[in-house]
Structure 1
Amino acid sequence: MSESPGTVPEDPSAVQRALVEWYEADHRSFPWRETTDPYEILVSEVMSQQTQLSRVETAWAEFLDRWPTATELAAADRSDVVAFWTDHSLGYNNRAKYLHEAAGQVVEEFDGEFPETPEGLQELQGVGPYTANAVASFAFNNGDAVVDTNVKRVLYRAFDVPDDDAAFEDAAARLMPEGESRVWNNAIMELGGVACEKTPSCDEAGCPWREWCRAYETGDFTAPDVPTQPSFEGSRRQMRGRVISTLKEYDELELDELGPRVRVDYAPEGEYGREWLRGLLADLADDGLVDVDDEGDTVARLRR
């Protein structure tokens, strides 16, 4: 490796030991931290991408109660999976579609067994590098160092790592103990989530890296900008979800029948009118969730 980025110690053993001991002594309890089942972990990772963890806990338990294995999810009606996603406000509905398709791949292409490496897991529909690495780490203890916004903030503050993706990845890789991706990735994300938040609580949370932390030493807790999740209420995501819920109930509807059920202020020629609704339907059609029939009066229906 090249020279350590920022002030990452050449010998990180003391830093590693301090963080792991801090995490193992006390950390937030989430049910997906108590399992090594790759299916259960994949569901939690996909749900967590756009949803507060407090809401994910309930949705995750209910989802697994309904579809406890990849085999049972693969056999489910996709519209039921999408409807569940919508009913629990879990973000973009195409994530439900991809999760359903990934379960089918596990059953049909991998004989019911999940791939165990980040590279193998990326072969599953909708599973990108971050999610693949998380599943490999937490299910198989076989992942790379995770780099999310929380981890970037920790590395930037603690070790003065430059605000550069390659530098963050290099620093994270140097710090992770070999063969310990499960505990390490959980621990460093926990650090960013409870001690090194946007407004840090170093002493209150007993941050284990205070003796090495450049920000703690200088009092300068600036960090790279972290994008904020746009409000769900009134968002395009919410409206897409309402389209799916409505079509689940009515099977198919013409535009001017569907519109008022999606928005109470729907007006055919208005800002939230036919053109706006056509745009929503076009997005959902691109995601493989609805069909739109433009012969005569436009009719929308769930894709089966």
Structure 2
Amino acid sequence: MSEDAVLPPEVDREAVRTALVEWYEADHRAFPWRETDDPYEILVSEVMSQQTQLDRVVDAWEAFLGRWPTAESLADADRSEVVGFWSDQRLGYNNRARYLHEAAGQIVDEFDGEFPRTPDGLQSLMGVGPYTANAVASFAFNAGDAVVDTNVKRVLHRAFSVPDDDAAFERAASELMPAGDSRVWNNAIMELGGVACEQVPRCDEAGCPWRTWCDAYETGDFTAPDVPTQPAFEGSRRQMRGRVISALKEYDELALDELGPRVRVDYTPDGEYGREWLRGLLSDLADDGLVELADGDDATVARLRA
């Protein structure tokens, strides 16, 4: 056994692997992106899933692919339409829509319509970081490394007392993943964290396949690394950004005092949520390349950037 091994030596790795894969293949949540190996469709699902509950992603994913079914069709689309769709679906930060649109253009222009097949290659796409690149490589090409997300960390910490350290989690996950089986393995271990080893565990109810080896199940100590929570959407800056985009989709351009009431009902030009607040919001959107501001003779106007 490697000196760098993180998992306890008494853990039967082959039995652990077999138990998890059999549990996953017997029954798992039926998300449509699990039924495809199309890298474009998987990339869309991964980008949408960032900070958004999976159940909410299904309808948005299907609608998005119905409108832009291929990387080529997305690359040809008007960016403002893509951003507008993202905002209407409440999928979070709109710059992810812009990055996805630009990534589609890269696939067409730089890669002749073919996706890179490795995590390193996929990271050359706009907005695709290590986690998303690895997920696409795993689920589209079965060529990824072991995925380590919040759910996987929680599972490894509880089951095998892996210390709360990113490097340790990476090594433990890699030790467990069967060589050449990243597609089924990464789906399976994320499913375990998503339905059995949640913040409040459901070990027996979900039939957790690792109860035989799990330290937490044996001791009753289900503490786990802190899990970041998604900030409330209602009243958030993210929601206000979405309202700006929606309003500017409807009108060619709007002066600040025309736009403000469409973003917040309590907008008053000189109030707490007035011109200064709105300018700050628009400045952020301009930095993201989504809107542009123009100073006219009578007022500053905002419009979507083409």
TM-score, scaled to structure 1: 0.98
Matched residue of 1:46: which SS? helix
Deviations 1:175-231 (A, max 9, x none): 000000000000000000010000001011111100100000000000011011011
Match of 1:299 among 298, 301, 304: 301
Corresponding position of 1:253: 254
Corresponding position of 1:238: 239
- How far apart are 1:7 and its partner, in Å? 2.7
Distance in 2 (CA, whole Å) between partners of 1:288 and 1:8 is 52
Distance in 1 (CA, whole Å) between partners of 2:301 and 2:222 is 54
**Alignment map for 1:12-161 (pairs within 5 Å):** 12-161=13-162
Distance in 1 (CA, whole Å) between partners of 2:89 and 2:204 is 36
Matched residue of 1:269: which SS? coil
- How far apart are 1:148 and its partner, in Å? 0.3
Matched residue of 2:169: which SS? helix
Matched residue of 1:292: which SS? strand
- How far apart are 1:294 and its partner, in Å? 3.2
Distance in 2 (CA, whole Å) between partners of 1:29 and 1:216 is 27
- How far apart are 1:299 and its partner, in Å? 1.2
Corresponding position of 1:218: 219
Distance in 1 (CA, whole Å) between partners of 2:53 and 2:212 is 31
Aligned partner of 1:20: which letter?
A: V
Aligned partner of 1:263: which letter?
A: R
Aligned partner of 1:281: which letter?
A: L
Distance in 2 (CA, whole Å) between partners of 1:122 and 1:175 is 24
Deviations 1:46-101 (A, max 9, x none): 00002111110000001000100000000000000001001110000000000000
Distance in 2 (CA, whole Å) between partners of 1:10 and 1:251 is 63
Distance in 1 (CA, whole Å) between partners of 2:7 and 2:56 is 37
Distance in 2 (CA, whole Å) between partners of 1:219 and 1:3 is 28
Is the CA contact 1:8–1:159 (under 8 Å) kept in the aligned structure 2? no
Count, aligned residues: 304
Distance in 1 (CA, whole Å) between partners of 2:11 and 2:31 is 33
Corresponding position of 1:267: 268
- How far apart are 1:3 and its partner, in Å? 3.5
**CA RMSD, Structure 1 to Structure 2 (Å):** 1.1
Is the CA contact 2:11–2:213 (under 8 Å) kept in the aligned structure 1? no
Cα 1:150–1:9, aligned 2, differ >3 Å: closer, same or farther? farther
Segment of structure 1 superposing worse, 4-13 or 157-166: 4-13
Distance in 2 (CA, whole Å) between partners of 1:3 and 1:10 is 15
Is the CA contact 1:4–1:10 (under 8 Å) kept in the aligned structure 2? no
Distance in 2 (CA, whole Å) between partners of 1:120 and 1:145 is 17
- How far apart are 1:275 and its partner, in Å? 1.0
Deviations 1:238-279 (A, max 9, x none): 100110110111111111111011100001111111111111
Aligned partner of 2:73: which letter?
A: E
Matched residue of 1:300: which SS? strand
Gaps of 5+ in 2: none
Deviations 1:103-141 (A, max 9, x none): 000000000000000000000000000000000000000
Gaps of 5+ in 1: none
Deviations 1:157-180 (A, max 9, x none): 000000000000010000000000
Is the CA contact 1:6–1:162 (under 8 Å) kept in the aligned structure 2? no
4+ aligned runs moved over 6 Å, structure 1: none
